[in-house]
Every structure is written in structure tokens, then in C-alpha cells.
Amino acid sequence: MDSTQCGKWSIRAAGAWLPVWLSLCLGAGPAVGQQAAPPATPAAPPAVKIPGQELEDPIESLQPAEPRTAADAARVDALGWFATGRIFLGRGDLPAAYRSFQRAVEKDDGILAVYRQLIPLALQLNQADQAVKWVQRASELAPDDFEWLVQLAELQIRSENVGGAIQSLERATTLKTLDPKSTPYVVLKHQLGQWYLALQRFPDAARVLEPVYEAIVDPAQYKLTSQVRTQILSGLSLEKFGEVFLEGNRPDLALAALTRATEKRTTPSGDLQFLLARAHARNNQPEQALGELEKYLQGKRQSRRQAPYELLAEVLTAQNRTAEVIPRLEKAVQDDPRNPFLQVALAERYLAADRLAEAEAQFKKTLAVAPDARGYAGLAGVYRRQKKVGDLLGALAESYGESGSLKQIERELQALLSDKPLAVEVVKEGRTLFQAEGARKKKWNLGQVLAHLASEARETDAAVEFYRQLLVLAEPARRDDLYEEYGAMLIEAHRYIDAADLYRQAAGAANDERQQTQFASSEAYALALAGQFERAKNQIQQLISRRDGNPSLLFREAWIYAHARQFDEAINRYEKLIQLFGSNPQVVRLGRSGLSNAYVSKGDLRRGEQILEESYRESPDDISLNNDLGYLYADQGKNLEQAEKMIRKALEAEPENGAYLDSMGWVLFRLGRAEEALTYVQKSVDRGQGVGDETILDHLGDVLDKLGRQTEAVANWTKALQMARQAPYADSTFIQKVEQKLKARDQRGALPPINPRAP
């Protein structure tokens, strides 16, 4: 409806009728808090005589040709509140203006002009969650207006809903009203590409940045001004475009961008030469790749650390010239003896060739001049192969000390854990070395390595010993993280009461109120896992009473009820959480996930599925959501191809996540690919997630049985049944299902068919 109308009245003479129109818009509606009365057939009003005009014909009130409908009345009220808000806004009374605009939306949520005032005001008053809701509604009212979607994306970013923001920007770029050969289109694609890069989703980044690159190359075609072009290139140079295209599996575009970057420079940088070598290699041009690598080596550059030497080995190996790799690196070291990355690369090639003595000597020579986490990790690889336990621990600790993390030695630790006897021996020797070590810093570095190794090797008593000592050694700033890591280890080892005690200690030691609350909530979680429902419930409810309005506590409370198999209570609490925080997308997604799981556990698979599907439509890039919905499809034997894609997306993001590994194995099993499934499910079992291990063991039993390995299948089902019976809250449906499988095998009969509807 036009803003110059109220109901069915039109403004025909603004000067004469404007006061009447304002009185109608501002005063015709009911008082605040009252509902508009339903329209009635109006009675003819009495004639009105105005003093001084007694001899004139009586003035009769105007009557609408048609009675005002409820929708008309609501629109009039909304416009009245809108006008009121504009008045307050003009006076600088922002809260009053905000309340007035809110009332306008409550009366009629279909007036775009209201949202144009309300949304920026909401942001100014720190009401971002409400602003998200209103921008979503405005984008529905004007689905072809890309600016609303851009604004929605910005608000979603503020709410940490990156997946939703990406979805909004993707929708904006597909609108027919947005010219794909225009500057706004290029700017939107550029912004979208930046978010994909931040998430390291390089194929998507390459896809959306392709037209941006085309616009940079041919700005006239996109009506791109020199100012916009310069601004884009200030953050994404031609060289960077090339690197993005390389990472996004577009080697043809990468080579084009990098070649153009070379033409723009009189002296190409070492980075550019390396990237060109990668592009040539990816385009099956090995000689050109080797030529660029030779230029990089001759320049004695170090900007790309070991990557150029790894590429050299890759290109030569692809040409069946592996024997040339070490001689070329040896010559390069002679020409550039001060390059530590080159020397480490040579040492690593010696190690890969099992030339351990030369590798050890080369690593030591390099580390004596330039200590480096990667170099120490390589030296640890030498000692692991030689089974020199003390030297191995020393090298691992030195690597951790150089980087402050386990990232560089993660591969070595995994290799060590694959040799269980050696891992146990290392932990045993480590306890002795740890007690003997005197220097605080060295003791800390060694303890970090040993605590992680003992945890992963399931040497829980040793891990507890290391963590206790580390808590004594830890600086106050690092203590909270250590408590978190220690507690997670105890949970994974099923030592729930110990974990609860630890979290209680951590809460008492924490200085920050937020951290205290988090540890106290974790204590309730551990108590619930231990089967102490009343203590867990009381603990979390006390926290809620002290920190009213904390969604994480309300979520934890609902989870505790679900874990105790009080599903109706859990469902009520999840629904309350979603209702209270409906404007917070992150809370809504988590609440829906818990709600879905409660319905599924209760036996209502269809309702659980619908809830996840609703969230998936809003956030198709949410990793955990992809896994959860994909697993639910797989468990029902439906949408299996889609389920595999969804779970694979989750697994690509977190390749070591035990739950995702099990999901992948289960969907492959459902697809009839038992051999492939075995690898994933077995790895999930080895990871040992703690809660839900019995389900994973059951899956492993099914896969092994399908492969004809009945003895191993029975062993895993038996273990799953034992764990299920010992659980604090027994799942009778699961127990009965596994018992049937074992009974069928005991009778040497065929297993009962899998019910595709079974939870």
C-alpha cells in the first residue's frame, strides 16, 4: 500500500487533507496493548455544525466506500506507529523510536519502509539477534533485492553463522536483478570468495573468484572502475589469484594468472617462481616446472621453506627419475649451505630412503645452526626406526619446545602408536626420564609429549601422573587449557567420577567467572556420564539459577535429561531453549540437533529427521549437521548417495573425528561396500570416542559378519553388549537387537535382516 493512503482513503489535496490523514494514522488505532476491534457496518454520523457557519449546509463526515478490513486496520496502525517512530527518531529518542518501529512490525510485518528504519536502529542499540530476524523477513518481502541478502550476510557473520552468511551471499549472486557483468556482482563475488578462503574451502573460492579475476583482466566488460579494481588487487594480487586457483584445482586458470603476474614484473619473486613451477606441474608440463624450480634454487631463496624441494621430488618421481632427487638436493646444499630448509629437506630424503646414518648426521648438522621443530621431528623419525627410546623422547620434546604445539610431531606420534609395544616402552622410559628431569622448561616440554602419548596409547595411569605433574609446572595462563585436556582424557578413558572431581577442582582454581561456570558445567556432564543423574541435575540447575539466561547451561540441562533417557523432559527443555533464543542461529542449530537426537532415541525417527532437515536447509555447510543428518539417513537405509556426500564433507573437515569415521563406514556398509566400510569403522573403534562406543562396536560386528569374518564379528557384538549392559542408563532396544544377533550365531543360523527403520 502506498504511504499516502490509510485504509481506502487517498490523499487528493495534500494541503487540505494532510491534518486529517495524520490524525487518522496517529490516532485512529487502538491504545497501546489493545487489539483493533473487528470492523462493523458504520452508522450514519450526525451532521456537524461549526460555529460561524450556522446558515450553511451541515458538514457530513466522509464515509469509506467499503468497510475497512482487519488487514486494513492493522496497516493503518502500523503506519501510525511508523510515523510515531520517525518523530521520536527526529527528537533523538532512539529507544522510543525502536519500540515504536517494533510495534509497527507487530501490527503489520509487510511494510519494507519500517525495516529500513528498524534494522540500522537495532544494530545501533546492540540488538543484532533481532536485526537478523527482521532482515530475513525483509529479504522475503523483496526476494529480488540483493542488498537485503548482503545485509543479512553481514548480520549472520556477527552471529558467527558463517555458513548462513555464505548461503545468503550465494543467493544474492544468483538473483536475476543483479547483472553478472556489473560491479556489484563482482564485489559480491569477491566478498564471498574471501569467506571461502577464510574457511580454506579452496574449490569454492576458485569458483566464485573466477569472474572477479575476469573483471580484473577486462574491467571494461564489467564496468569496473579503476578505484574498485585497485581495491580488489590490494588484497588479491594476480599472484594470489594464481595460488587460489592452484589450491582450488583450477591449474589452467592458475597458470594464466601467474603468467600475467610475471609479465607485470621485471624481476619475478621467488614465490612467483615456485607457484609457476606448481602450475606447470599441475598442467602436466614437468620440464617447465623443473625450469622454474631451478630458478628458485639458483636464487638461494627460503620464502617457501621446504615446499619447493618437496615439489622437486614430486615432479622427478612422476617422471620415474626418483634417483635424481637426492643428488640434486646435495648439489643445492653445496651451492647454498646456509639454507636450513634445504638441509632439512635433504635429511628427510635420506630418512625416506632409509639412509639413517646420513639422515641423523644431516639433521644434527642443521639443528646445531638453526633449531627447528620440523628438523627435530625428522630426527625423532630416525631414532624411532633405530628404537633409541631415550633419544627419541628427547627429539620429540625439543620439537614441541620449538613450536609450542604437537603439530610437527603428530605424524611421528601416530607412527609410534602404530607400534604398540614400542609406544608402551617409550611411556615406561618416559616416566623415569620425567622424574629425573630438573629444568622446568625441559620438564614441561617432555611432560606434554608424554601426556599426549600415554593418553593415545591408553596408558591412563601414566597419563594421569604426567598431567598431575604438568598442573604443578603450568603457568597460570596455561592451567585452564591443561585442565580441559586432562578432563577430556579422563572422559575418553571412561573415568567419569575422576573427571568430575577434576572439573570441580578446576572450577575452584579458575579466576574468571566464565571459566568457573564452564568447568562446573563440565562436572555436571561427567556426573551424568557416571550415572549420577540427581547430582548432575542439581549441579546444572544451581548454575542456571546463578547464571540465568545462559543458553549453554540450558542446553547442558536438556542433554542430561536425554542421556538419562528421560526423553519427554529433554524434549521440553530443548524446545524451551529454541523458543527463548530463536533469534540466535547458533543456539537454534545446537538446540535442534539435541531435539532431533532425543526424538530419534525415543523412537520417533521421522520427527528427528524433519528437525535436522529444517536446519540443513538453513545451514547446508554446517559440518556436524551434515554428519548427523547423513548418519540418520544411512541408519534408515534411505538417501544413501546423498548421505555419503554429506558425511564425506564432514570427514574432509575433520578426518580424525571418530564419530564421522563411524558414520562414513556405516553409510558405505549400507551401500553394500563392506570392504571400504571396514577401514573407517575400525579406525573409529581405534579412536575410542567413549560415549557411544557400543554402537560403533556393533557396526564393526555387522561389517565383519558381512565379510564372512564371523568369529571377529561375534567378539565385537559381545563386547558391545557388555558395554551396553554396564552403561548407567541401559538402552533396552539396543541390547535386545545385539542379543538377537548373538543368539542367531549361537544357533548357527543366519542373522536376522537389518530393519531399515531401526534406530
Residue pair 206/250 in contact by the 8 Å Cβ criterion: yes
Distance, in Å, from the CA atom of 120 to the CA atom of 141, rounded to the nearest integer, reads: 18
One DSSP character per residue, 139-177 reads HHHSTT-HHHHHHHHHHHHHTT-HHHHHHHHHHHHT-TT
Residue pair 130/122 in contact by the 8 Å Cβ criterion: yes
In a domain, 682, yes or no: yes
In a domain, 3, yes or no: yes
Annotate 274-311 with b (16+ C-beta within 10 A) or e (fewer).
bbbbbbbbbeebbebbbebbebbbeeebeebbbebbeb
**Which residue in 213, 207, 208, 263 sits closest to 237, CA to CA?**
213
In a domain, 121, yes or no: yes
Distance, in Å, from the CA atom of 636 to the CA atom of 402, rounded to the nearest integer, reads: 49
Distance, in Å, from the CA atom of 155 to the CA atom of 137, rounded to the nearest integer, reads: 13
Torsional class of 179: left (φ above 0), alpha (ψ -120 to 50), beta (otherwise): beta
Q: How many domains does one find in the chain?
A: 2
Distance, in Å, from the CA atom of 87 to the CA atom of 610, rounded to the nearest integer, reads: 45
Q: What's the longest Cα–Cα distance across the chain?
A: 123
Strand partners, 5: 10
Q: What is the pLDDT of residue 586?
A: 79
In a domain, 11, yes or no: yes
Strands 9-10, 5-6: pairing kind: antiparallel
Q: Which one of 126, 152, 172 terminates a domain?
A: 126
Strand partners, 56: none
* CATH number for position 85: 1.25.40
Tell me the pLDDT tens digit for each residue of 436-481: 877 889 999 999 999 999 998 889 999 999 999 999 999 988 999 9
For 86, the grid coordinates are 520517525
Q: Which one of 126, 145, 176 terminates a domain?
A: 126
In a domain, 480, yes or no: no
Distance, in Å, from the CA atom of 128 to the CA atom of 585, rounded to the nearest integer, reads: 11
Give me the residues of the chain with pLDDT under 50, please: 1-45, 48, 50, 690, 749-759
Q: Which one of 111, 126, 141 terminates a domain?
A: 126
In a domain, 410, yes or no: no
Alpha carbon distances (Å) from 144 to 1, 155, 176, 177, 332? 19, 19, 7, 6, 60
Predicted TM-score (pTM) above 0.85: no
- How many residues are recorded in the chain? 759
Instruction: Give the single-character DSSP code of 286.
Output: H
Contacts of 653 (CB under 8 A, 6+ apart): 623
Alpha carbon distances (Å) from 259 to 213, 216, 570? 13, 14, 60
For 206, the grid coordinates are 576458485
Distance, in Å, from the CA atom of 499 to the CA atom of 517, rounded to the nearest integer, reads: 16
Distance, in Å, from the CA atom of 44 to the CA atom of 60, rounded to the nearest integer, reads: 9
- Other beta carbons within 10 Å of 743: 12
Q: What is the pLDDT of residue 17?
A: 25
- Domain range for 111 is 1-31+67-126
The torsion angles phi and psi of 427, rounded to 5 degrees, stand at: -65, -45
**Which residue in 715, 581, 660, 671 sits closest to 161, CA to CA?**
581
Question: C-alpha dihedral over 336, 338, 343, 344, to 10 degrees?
Answer: -140
Q: What is the pLDDT of residue 12?
A: 28
Q: What is the pLDDT of residue 13?
A: 28
In a domain, 408, yes or no: no
In a domain, 679, yes or no: yes
Tell me the pLDDT tens digit for each residue of 18-72: 222 223 222 333 333 333 333 343 444 455 454 555 555 565 666 666 777 888 8
Contacts of 338 (CB under 8 A, 6+ apart): none
Q: Please classify residue 265 by burial: count the beta carbons closer than 10 Å to its beta carbon, then call 0-12 exposed, 13-18 middle and 19+ buried.
A: exposed
Q: Please classify residue 214 by burial: count the beta carbons closer than 10 Å to its beta carbon, then call 0-12 exposed, 13-18 middle and 19+ buried.
A: middle
Q: How far apart are the first and last CA of the chain?
A: 52
